[in-house]
Structure 1
């Protein structure tokens, strides 16, 4: 991706204070954000998984705008000058560093006091594309330590080769939700009780989703699934599955002929029935592999955005559809 050089939004310097502050730095400050005329906290979310958290936890007390509109592949996002300028006017920014480099740079330059990087609210890990790399013993858990780098622009885990797709694990997503709830309480203490209540409600929903995955995938005839890009490493590890990505964590990369041959071998060996593709990236490679190997295809949605093609209207509904697709593909009873 070409990351354009961005110009600081100095025109809105009066609406912001200090430099980039992530959650840990916010904990040592006091004072609420200056809310807009409608009394709501102005929140900017980088893409859908962050938008969902902000809306669910913020409720009626926030006005949420997302930088990544429906149907746009988040990794490819380029910001317009107007969007960069408006970033500096936000009361609160929620993003996930390492997913969208152009967004990361713009947010750093916006200098909004209440800025939260979701990568600092849980532990990131490394996930590969091959067999065994998604299982419980295949992870380099030490890699997650880099996810908690300092708050001044130094490397976070996703920049050190770790997997940013934390929202696809309901347990990790709940950890992030708790951190977001705490940070919103600091940004807008007048509504702290509402944020705490909404956080608890969301964490319970995510707990129920975790239970559904745990029980639904327990008795499967195979533990291996093939998907377009390696977005499901956290989910695979959580529920004892083996993810085989056609490409790596980057959905735009192309698989080598050797990788395709390896996947054909894995499909036969592990009795794989289905090749999964997704809604926002090309399905060409997945469908070609399926045809050449005599497999079926289905959708496994990495939930980077909700569109009319999504199998559900929000995070919980699409994740429930993902569970149904996995159960069918893995022969779970």
Structure 2
């Protein structure tokens, strides 16, 4: 399962790297030939996406490293961390694009050639396809890094559209003899840089949120709690915390069992709780179970009322895996 996930994610990252490399080179070359500041800014944007896709690829590889003594919960947070790197790179690129384009207002300027218009249109189509593909894969694999990378492609669609409007307006202005419209090309470049900065900020905020051990609320963890509570021998769930750790979840659960049973029997119940949760919830990477005696529940424990007990095997066989 994990290998299949990594294979799909890696392929998506390489699609971004190769696609952006081709677009960046093409737009930069045409931008120079057609003398378009907006298209050159758009080329820089595509080039930054290459760095972003590489960061995503490295993050995906790091997240595949199995748990070790220093990282007992695994390396799942490598993905949102790589998304943070992408966001910072994008933010810096946006500032640089804005600064470079503003300088064009203080120098003689002419309208770009029609070739720049065609380049902007083709870029919009390719980048929109890349966005839809990456976003679908990111949602399917629950990968914050791939989703962040997808939004980079969508921001490129906006920037190409802004470049198209600016380039077209500048060409029309020159042909109609309206000199001020020629400045629509650098104006579009500045607008593109603003879009990039805005997108980078949004991605950075979401990525930081994902790295801060977000715990599922009671409603979202309800299925986990009810499944654990149905395991024979579990008298009460005192506390259950499901922590997001990149694309997977780590569960910490405190259960109450009969105080009169042996330690071995309590341990067996705890192992069954872990097994059932990991088998029935595909996004649960690991489960840590703490055993409490039912008649000595601590005052600080959060207790949930016991559910009607049913055999776990019956739940799985009759109703199918509990995946909600």
TM bracket (short chain): under 0.3
Give TM-score scaled by structure 2 length: 0.26
Between structure 1 and structure 2, the one with the greater Rg is 2
Structure with the higher helix share, 1 or 2 = 2
